[in-house]
C-alpha cells in the first residue's frame, strides 16, 4: 500500500501554483481538501523565493501573459535547483501560437517532472496535431500510438486525461477508467487535477506511481461526488467534499487502473 493521501495529510506539502485566473480559488480549495497547502504567487520579484520554500510547483498556462511566462521560468529554475517536482498544465496549447510557443519555451528552460493535459493539448504540444486528428474518441489503439509518439518528442512523463486516463513515463503505461462525465461541466477540473498531481509528486519520488495514484484518487472522488450530486453546481462543491472525504482505503477498493508496458495492448 502506497498510502499517498496519508502522507499528504501528514506532511501538508506546500504547492506553489502559477496558474490561470479562472481556477485559482477552486484549485486552492481542492488542494486544501486533499490535505496539501496551496500558495499562489506570480510576481517575478517573489516566485524564486516562493518556489524555493515550496514542496512542488505547478505551471498552468490557462490565462498566460508574457510577464507570467517570465515568472514561470524563474520559478521553474528555482524549483529545479531546489530539487522539487514541477508539473506543467498546457491549457489550450494549439489554440493560439502564443500558448504553444510559451509551453515549448517552458519545456526548454525548465526540467518538468510531469505534464497533464487532454489529448488535443498533448498532441499539439508534441507537434502531432496533424497525425492525431480524430483521436478525440481516444480509442485504445490510437492512444497508445499517441502516447508513444508524444513521449518520444517531449521526453517527460505524461498524463493524458479524458473519458479514459492514460499515463506513461516512456516505459510503463497505466489506463485508468475512474472518473465521471460531470467533470467536463466544471471549469478547472483538469487544472485542479494537475495541482493534485503536484501534491502526490511532493510526497512520492516515483513519478509514474505518484501520477497514477493522483489520477485514480481524483477519478474516485468524482465518482463519489456524482453519486450524491447530479447537477453541475452541486457537483463542483461535492467534488471538494469528496477530495476531503476519500481515503487511501477507498482508493485501494475502488481504483480501476490497468498497468502494462507502453506499446502493449492492455
Residue ranges of the binding site for ATP = 116, 161
| Helix intervals (H) in the chain | 4-11, 24-34, 47-53, 66-82, 97-109, 119-125, 140-154, 189-203, 207-228, 232-245, 248-254
| Among positions 55, 56, 62, 107, the unique one binding a copy of itself when judged by CB under 8 A | 62
50 binds a copy of itself (CB under 8 A): yes
Q: Which is nearer to a copy of itself, 32 or 172 (CB)?
A: 32
**R_g over Cα of the chain:** 17
Rounded to an integer, what distance in angstroms lies between the CA atom of residue 199 and that of residue 219? 16
All three cell numbers of 194: 494537475
241 binds a copy of itself (CB under 8 A): yes
Answer left, alpha or beta for residue 179, where phi above 0 means left and psi between -120 and 50 means alpha: left
Q: How far is the CB of 151 from a copy of itself (least distance, A)?
A: 27
Site for a copy of itself in 3-32 (CB under 8 A): 20-26, 28-29, 32
Size of the site for a copy of itself (CB under 8 A): 50
Among candidate residues 8, 17, 30, 14, the one with its CA nearest the CA of residue 187: 30
190 binds a copy of itself (CB under 8 A): no
218 binds a copy of itself (CB under 8 A): no
Rounded to an integer, what distance in angstroms lies between the CA atom of residue 162 and that of residue 139? 11
227 binds a copy of itself (CB under 8 A): no
- Judged by CB under 8 A, which stretch of 104-112, 127-135, 145-153, 235-243 contacts a copy of itself? 235-243
Q: Which is nearer to a copy of itself, 18 or 174 (CB)?
A: 18
202 binds a copy of itself (CB under 8 A): no
Q: How far is CA 41 from CA 33, 54, 87, 148, 199, in A?
A: 20, 11, 16, 35, 17
Residue whose entry in the numeric block shows the C-alpha cell 517531449: 154
| Among positions 42, 118, 161, 212, the unique one binding a copy of itself when judged by CB under 8 A | 42
Site for a copy of itself in 73-132 (CB under 8 A): 92, 95-99
Binding site for a copy of itself (CB under 8 A): 20-26, 28-29, 32-33, 38-43, 45-46, 49-50, 53, 62-66, 92, 95-99, 184-188, 231-234, 236-241, 244-245
Amino acid at each position: 500500500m502506497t498510502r499517498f493521501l496519508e502522507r499528504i495529510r501528514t506532511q501538508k506539502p506546500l504547492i506553489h501554483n502559477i496558474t490561470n485566473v479562472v481556477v485559482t480559488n477552486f484549485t486552492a480549495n481542492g488542494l486544501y481538501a486533499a490535505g496539501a497547502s496551496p500558495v499562489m504567487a506570480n510576481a517575478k520579484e517573489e516566485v524564486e523565493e516562493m518556489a524555493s520554500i515550496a514542496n512542488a510547483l505547478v505551471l498552468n498556462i490557462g490565462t498566460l501573459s508574457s510577464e507570467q511566462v517570465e515568472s514561470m521560468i524563474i520559478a521553474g529554475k528555482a524549483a529545479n535547483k531546489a530539487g522539487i517536482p514541477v508539473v506543467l498544465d498546457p491549457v489550450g496549447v494549439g489554440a493560439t501560437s502564443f500558448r504553444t510557443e510559451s509551453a515549448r519555451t517552458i519545456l526548454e528552460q525548465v526540467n518538468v517532472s510531469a505534464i497533464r493535459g487532454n489529448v488535443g493539448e498533448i498532441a499539439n504540444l508534441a507537434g502531432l496535431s496533424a497525425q492525431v486528428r480524430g483521436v478525440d474518441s481516444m480509442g485504445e489503439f490510437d492512444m497508445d500510438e499517441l502516447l508513444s509518439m508524444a513521449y518520444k518528442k517531449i521526453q517527460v512523463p505524461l498524463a493524458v486525461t479524458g473519458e479514459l486516463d492514460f499515463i506513461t513515463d516512456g516505459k510503463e503505461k497505466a489506463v485508468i477508467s475512474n472518473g465521471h462525465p460531470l467533470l467536463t461541466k466544471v471549469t478547472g477540473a483538469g487544472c485542479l487535477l494537475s495541482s493534485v498531481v503536484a501534491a502526490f509528486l511532493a510526497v512520492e519520488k516515483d513519478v509514474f506511481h505518484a501520477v497514477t495514484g493522483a489520477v485514480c484518487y481524483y477519478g474516485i472522488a468524482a465518482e463519489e461526488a456524482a453519486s450524491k450530486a447530479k447537477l453541475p453546481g452541486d457537483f463542483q462543491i461535492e467534488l471538494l467534499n469528496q477530495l476531503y472525504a476519500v481515503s487511501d482505503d477507498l482508493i485501494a477498493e475502488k481504483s480501476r487502473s490497468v498497468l502494462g508496458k507502453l506499446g502493449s495492448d492492455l
